[in-house]
Chains A and B, each alone.
Chain A
Amino acid sequence: MPIRALLAAVLIAGATHAFAQTPAATPGPLAAEGCLGCHGPAGSGSGPIVALAGHDQAEMIAAMAAFRSNERAGTIMGRVARGYTEAEIAAIAAHFARLPR
C-alpha cells in the first residue's frame, strides 16, 4: 500500500515539526474531558456531584482505586473507574489537582 506509506511518512514528518509548535494553551488530558459532562466544566462540580478541581492528586488516585475494587460504594463510579488505566487516572488526577478549587 504505497499510499498508506505516503500517509505514514506525512504523519511522521508532521510530528517532528510539531514539537516546536506548542499551542498557546495546552488542554488537559482528553481522558479528563469525559469527567466534565457530570462533574461540570473545569471539574467545578454540579449540585450533589462533587467538584474535582483542586482535589489532592493522591487522594483522587486512592478514591478511584477504591471505586475500582468496589471497596468504596458508589452509584456509578465503580463502573467508571474500571474503564481507565492507572496511568490515565494519574494523569486525570494531576490535571484536576492543578485547577483552582
Chain B
Amino acid sequence: MANTLSRRALLGAAAFLAAPATLRAQGSTARLLVIGGGFGGASAANFARRAYPWLEVTLVEPKTTFVTCPYGNLVIAGVRQIGDISHNYDGLRARGVRVVHDWATGIDATARTVRLQGGQSLGYDRLILSPGIALRWGALEGYTEAASEVMPHAWVPGDGTQTLLLRRQLEEMPDGGVVGMSIPGNPFRCPPGPYERISMIASYLKRHKPRSKILAFDAKEAFSKQGLFQDAWAALYPGLVEWVPASRDGRIVKVDAAERVLESEFGEKHKVAVANVIPPQSAARIAIEAGLTDASGWVPVSPVTFESRAAPGIHVVGDANIPGPMPKSGYVANSTAKQAVASAAAALRGQAPTPGIYYNTCYSHVGDEYGISVVGIFRPNAEGNAIVEVANSGGVSPRGNWPEQRRLEAHYADAWYGSITRDMFA
C-alpha cells in the first residue's frame, strides 16, 4: 500500500514537473475540464473564466436545463413553479465556457482524458469533477428506480420529474391522508433538506388538507437545526408533524411500493397515502468507477486543493467528496469549487496552492415569512490534513421569539437563491 502511494505521489510529482515546462510562457493557455454542471461544476466553470481568462474551460453536463435541489421543497409545497428553479447554460457559454451536453462515462487519470457516451474523448490539463450523488438503489429493500416512480425520492431532481411527482401526489391525496417520509442516516446531500421538506409539506397540508399529517421516519437521533425546526413545527403545525427517530423504531429498512408501505427495522409496517423515500446515497458512479471513492462510498480529498487522494490532478468538489465538518450543501460546493479552481490554476502555473477559507450558509423555509439558517466558516488546519470550523464563528439562528429575524431570514433566503444561481449561471 505504502509502495503504491509512493508511486502515485511520484507520478503526481512528475506531472507537476511537466506542467510548468509547457505552461511557463506568458499568455499560454491550459485546458480545464469540468464534469458536472450543478452547484460545484457551474460555479467552477464560471469562476475559472472570470478569474483566470487564460484557462480554456469545457463543461460536460448531460442536461440542457438544470433544476436545483434548493427551493425544490417550495415547488413541492406549491409556492414556487419548477420554471423558477430551472437554469440553462447560455450564461456560461457567453462567458466563453465550451458546454458539451453529454454523459462523462470514464476518466483516464494517466492519459488525462475523459470518455463521453457520445464516443468523443476530451483531454485536460486539470480536471474538476463535481458529479453529485448516486442514490443507492436497493439499500432499502424494495426501493428500486421503478419503486421511485411510485414513492418519489425527489432528492435528485434530474429534469424535475421527481419533484413534480411528489407535488402531484400531495395534490391528489385526500384530506386525512398520511404522508410518510423515510430519512437516511449521515452523511447525505443537504442535511437540513428533509426537515425543510417536512415544514413545507406541513404548510401545504395545514392550508389545504388540515386533517392530514406527516409521519417522518428517521434513521438518526438528531438533525441539523433540530431545535429551531421542532420549535417551528410546534408553533405553526401543532399535531401535524410526527418525527420518529431511530431509537423509536424510525429506521425504515424495506418498502413495498405497490402497497405504499414503509417497514421499520423492527418490522412495523406503516401504510401511507404518499411516501417520500430519501434513500442512502454515495458519490456518483463516475467517481466510484474511477477508483476515487473509499469504503464509505465518498471521495477523500485534500483539504487545501480538493484533489482526490487517489488521483492528484483531479479536484473533486460538491456532494461527492468527504468534506470533513462541512455539510454537503450548495454553498459549500460553490465555495470549495472556487478554491479547487484557484488551486488548479496555481498548479498549472507552477505555483503552490494558497490555503482557502470555505463559506456556508444554509437557509431553510419553515413557513410563510419564517426562515432559519446555519452558518459555517471553515479552513484547513495548520497541518493541512483536515478541515476545521473556525472557533466561535457560525452557528444557527437564535431560538425563541424573534419574529423579525425569522421574517428577514425568509427574505434573505430568497435573495441568496438569486445570488448564488447568478454566481453559477450568469
Contacts and interface: CB of A to CB of B under 8 A. Distances in A.
Interface of A: 3-4, 6-7, 10-15, 17-18, 20-21, 23-25, 27, 30-31, 33-41, 46-49, 75-76, 79-84, 88
B375 interface: yes
A84 B411 contact: no
Task: Identify whether the interface residues of A are mostly helix, strand, loop, or mixed.
Answer: helix
A14 B350 contact: yes
Interface stretch (B143-151, B285-293, B412-420): B412-420
Given A17-B24, A21-B349, A37 B418 contact: no
Given A3-B6, A18-B350, A37-B416, 11 more contacts: A7-B9, A10-B13, A17-B20, A17-B349, A21-B26, A24-B27, A33-B338, A38-B361, A38-B419, A41-B423, A46-B422
Interface stretch (B122-130, B152-160, B246-254, B391-399): B391-399
A47 B350 CA distance: 41
B153 to A, nearest CB: 26
A51 to B, nearest CB: 11
Contacts of A40: 418-419, 422-423
A12 B13 CA distance: 13
Interface residues of B, number: 58
A49 B416 contact: yes
Contact of A75 (B392, B397, B418): B397
Contact of A17 (B16, B350, B361): B350
Contacts of B352: 11-12, 14-15
B203 interface: no
Interface stretch (B46-54, B180-188, B267-275): B46-54
Contacts of A15: 350-352
Interface in B384-426: 390, 392-395, 397, 405, 408-409, 411-412, 414-416, 418-420, 422-423, 426
A75 B338 contact: no
Given A38-B412, A80-B375, A24 B53 contact: yes
A48 B412 contact: yes
Contact of B411 (A18, A30, A47): A47
Contacts of B392: 82
24 contacts: A7-B9, A7-B12, A7-B13, A14-B16, A14-B349, A17-B350, A21-B26, A23-B51, A25-B53, A30-B339, A34-B377, A37-B361, A38-B361, A38-B415, A38-B420, A40-B423, A47-B418, A48-B411, A49-B412, A49-B416, A75-B397, A75-B412, A79-B393, A83-B357
Contacts of B20: 13-14, 17
B307 to A, nearest CB: 12
Contact of B390 (A39, A48, A82): A82
Nearest to B55: A23
B412 A37 contact: no
B342 A13 contact: no
Q: Determine which residue in B13, B27, B373 has the highest number of CB atoms from chain A within 10 A of its CB, and name it.
A: B13
Given A23-B52, A40-B422, A34 B415 contact: no
Contact of A88 (B357, B405, B414, B423): B357
Given A21-B349, A24-B54, A25-B51, A41 B9 contact: no
